[in-house]
Chain A
Amino acid sequence: MSQPGGSEELVLASDFGVLDRVDELAVRYGQLAGFDDGPLMEIAIAVVEAVTNAIVHGNKCDASKTVKMRIEWEPGLFGLTVHDEGEGFDLACVMDPTDPERCMETSGRGIYIMRQVMDTMDYEMGEGSGTTLRLTKALKPV
């Protein structure tokens, strides 16, 4: 009998070394939710990007700050929440990295990538309370 769903929460150091573990969890829970091949790879790409953004842009690689991550899954649905201790940003100011004038930039692609591969993306920012990102992806009917 398949499991109805579940969740896992982790508190991660602001260190790129956590990304291998994050990738493994994304693949594991994506598989449990029923995703395979391409969509599973997209989930892993997005989860790694979400935590990378939290480390780099949220916590500014400050080792004293942590990233909280929660993965929720159920058959046909994968959800991720990532919280950092950063000051937030204006989502409207995020530029399109595929714009020919910006395509050679060495940064600024994380949010664009997550938007492309996930179904929903929501940011919640409050003064002094950090930034919370929520991503979801649903299995497409065949």
Chain B
Amino acid sequence: MKVKTDMEGEVAIIRLSGNLTGGPESDEVRGAIRRLLDSGARKFIIDLKGVPWINSTGLGTLMAIYTSVQREEGVLKLAHVSDRIQSLFMITKLLTIFDTHPTTEEALGAF
């Protein structure tokens, strides 16, 4: 998995590519968010355009990130959520937890 971070004003955009399945990539993504939180960022978009699917372990990674961001009074939005990931959110009744947007631009506009 590749993790690329850009700042758009005060919003950190974390672009992922590859599947999020609970391997070392999960630590990498969580580490990237942790470093951004430590540097003062509080607004985040995780862009999942390059992530066709995740499993329950990857879902756990997203939950851990959501909790970390919430704990520090930050806001997390997701963009480009695939049908399969959306379906997983629906099955696990997490649709109301994650704030999802069709594109990164729309997620940016929602802050």
Query: A112 at interface (Cβ–Cβ under 8 A)?
Result: yes
Whether B21 lies near A109 (C-beta < 8 A) is: no
Whether B53 lies near A109 (C-beta < 8 A) is: no
Grouping DSSP codes into helix (H, G, I), strand (E, B) and loop, the B interface class, with mixed when no group exceeds half, is helix
Whether B61 lies near A106 (C-beta < 8 A) is: yes
Query: A141 at interface (Cβ–Cβ under 8 A)?
Result: no
Name the residue among B67, B91, B93 with the largest chain A CB count within 10 angstroms. B91
Query: A16 at interface (Cβ–Cβ under 8 A)?
Result: yes
- In the assembled complex, how far is the CB of residue B3 from the closest CB belonging to chain A, in whole angstroms? 16
Given A41-B87, A117-B91, are A107 and B23 also a contact pair (CB < 8 Å)? no
The 9 closest A-B pairs by CB, nearest first: A16-B23, A106-B60, A109-B56, A98-B93, A110-B56, A16-B21, A106-B64, A106-B63, A52-B55
- Using a CB–CB cutoff of 8 Å, the interface residues on chain A facing chain B are 15-17, 19-20, 23, 38, 41-42, 44-45, 48-49, 52, 56, 97-98, 103-107, 109-110, 112-113, 116-117
- Using a CB–CB cutoff of 8 Å, the interface residues on chain B facing chain A are 19, 21-23, 53, 55-57, 59-61, 63-64, 67, 83-84, 87-88, 91-94, 97
